Structure 1
Amino acid sequence: AQTAPCFYKLSNEMLKDIEFYTKSAEGMGAKMQYNLLKVKYQDSYIDKKNLSNAIQKFRIPSYEKTKTDAAETLQQLIALKVKDPR
């Protein structure tokens, strides 16, 4: 007897590992994370779609990565212009 796909849920421990892998090793993709989790949680079924969704949840958005001095300066200048639109 097989378990229905609606019951394939990632455990809290798995989610913590996925968050760690995603945030600490940005280049680590879903395939590598799947292989690591498969070895660590041998008795659990890991649905690849659920894994992919969890990775997206923990991934740092690209707009947060691009916060540079120039971008911050531009944001400050725009805010000043809004306050004083001479």
Structure 2
Amino acid sequence: YRFVQEGLNNAFRHGKGKGQQVRATTKGGKLLVEVVDTGPGFDPARSEGLGLAGLRERIESIGGQFETLTGPGGTRLVITLSVEEQP
């Protein structure tokens, strides 16, 4: 839940709170969670701020993947985690 919390916080602070969405799906033993906004985006060539770097570190420490997609139409933060499916 910290990923969603921090993602929404960043989207509100830096994305002007525009078009915020949270999406979560599961497929093939993977959990995919996205936090999306339609704000101005940012320059991905600049280093990640402490918030995004901390998120990346947390997700990767539990074996997940973290991806940041950004541009003039907004930003999308995506995590993918392996999950055990329950019978």
TM-score, normalisation: structure 1:
0.29
The structure number with the bigger radius of gyration is: 1
The structure with more strand, counted as a fraction of residues: 2
**TM-score, structure 2 normalization:** 0.29
